[in-house]
Amino acid sequence: MSGLVAVPIVAPLIAAALSILVSRWRNAQRAISIVTLGALAVIAVVLVLDLDDSGGIIVAQAGGWPAPLGISLVVDRLSGIMLVTSAAMLLGVLVYSIGHGGVERTQAAFHPVYLVLAAGVNASLVTGDLFNLFVSFEMMLVASYVLITMGGQRERIRSGMTYVVISLVASTFFVVVLALLYASTGTINMADLAGRIAQLPDGVQLMFALSLLAVFGIKAGLFPLFSWLPDSYPAAAAPVTAIFAGLLTKIGVYAIIRTQVLLFDPDVRPASLLLVVAALTMAVGVFGAIAQNDVKRILSFHIVSQIGYMIFGLALFTVAGVAAAIFYTFNNIILKTTLLMTSGLMERRGGSTRLLRSGGMIRTAPLVGLLFALPALSLAGLPPFGGFVAKFSVFDAGVGSREWAVVAVAVLVSLMTMYSMNKIWSGVFWGEPEQPSEHEPRDGGRLGGPVLMVASTAALVVMGLAVMIWARPLFEFTERAAIELLDRRVYIDAVLRPTP
Partner 1 sequence: MSVLVAFIAAVLVSTGTWLLLQRRLSRIIVGVGLLGHAANLLLVVSGGRRGRAPLVDLDGVEVYSDPLPQALALTAIVITFGITVLLLGIGFRAWQVDQDDVVEDELEDRYLARRLEVDPDIADEVEAERAQAAEEGRR
Where does this chain bind partner 1 (CB under 8 A)? Answer: 131, 134-135, 138, 142, 145-146, 149, 152-154, 157-162, 164-165, 168-169, 172-173, 175-176, 178-180, 182-183, 188, 231, 291-294, 297, 354, 356-357, 434-435, 438
Nearer to partner 1, 164 or 213 (CB): 164
Question: Which 8-state DSSP code applies to residue 437?
Answer: -
Least distance in Å: CB of 142 to partner 1? 7
Please tell me the distance from the alpha carbon of residue 299 to that of residue 214, in angstroms, as a whole number. Answer: 24
Pick from 180, 191, 183: nearest CA to 71: 191
Nearer to partner 1, 72 or 414 (CB): 72
Nearer to partner 1, 356 or 408 (CB): 356
Please tell me the distance from the alpha carbon of residue 156 to that of residue 391, in angstroms, as a whole number. Answer: 34
Least distance in Å: CB of 342 to partner 1? 22
Question: Which 8-state DSSP code applies to residue 234?
Answer: G
Please tell me the distance from the alpha carbon of residue 303 to that of residue 221, in angstroms, as a whole number. Answer: 8
Please tell me the distance from the alpha carbon of residue 313 to that of residue 306, in angstroms, as a whole number. Answer: 11
Least distance in Å: CB of 500 to partner 1? 26
Asked if residue 234 has a cis previous peptide bond (ω within 30° of 0), the answer is: no
Nearer to partner 1, 175 or 399 (CB): 175
Nearer to partner 1, 135 or 465 (CB): 135
Who contacts 267 (Cβ-Cβ below 8 Å, separation ≥6)?
none
Q: Name beta bridge partners: 300.
A: none
| DSSP notation for 48-99 | HHHHTTTTTEEEEEGGG--TTTS-EEEEEHHHHHHHHHHHHHHHHHHHHHHH
**Between the CA atoms of 108, 437, 343 and 244, what dihedral angle is there, to the nearest 10 degrees?**
50
On whether the CB atoms of residues 350 and 284 are closer than 8 A, the answer is no
Nearer to partner 1, 8 or 230 (CB): 230
Please tell me the distance from the alpha carbon of residue 110 to that of residue 326, in angstroms, as a whole number. Answer: 31
Amino acid at 372: F
Nearer to partner 1, 77 or 297 (CB): 297
Least distance in Å: CB of 176 to partner 1? 5
| DSSP notation for 464-500 | HHHHHHTHHHHHHHHHHHHHHHHSTHHHHHHHHS---
Nearer to partner 1, 185 or 342 (CB): 185
Nearer to partner 1, 49 or 165 (CB): 165
Least distance in Å: CB of 439 to partner 1? 12
Nearer to partner 1, 224 or 384 (CB): 224
Pick from 186, 234, 194: nearest CA to 212: 194
Least distance in Å: CB of 186 to partner 1? 8
Least distance in Å: CB of 1 to partner 1? 29
Least distance in Å: CB of 250 to partner 1? 23
Nearer to partner 1, 79 or 352 (CB): 352
Least distance in Å: CB of 131 to partner 1? 6
Tally Cβ neighbours within 10 Å of residue 438: 10
Least distance in Å: CB of 443 to partner 1? 24
Please tell me the distance from the alpha carbon of residue 378 to that of residue 49, in angstroms, as a whole number. Answer: 27
Amino acid at 259: T
Least distance in Å: CB of 175 to partner 1? 4
**Whole-number CA gyration radius for the chain:** 21
Least distance in Å: CB of 17 to partner 1? 16
Nearer to partner 1, 168 or 466 (CB): 168
Residues 466, 472, 474, CA angle at the centre, nearest 5°?
Answer: 65
Question: Which 8-state DSSP code applies to residue 201?
Answer: -
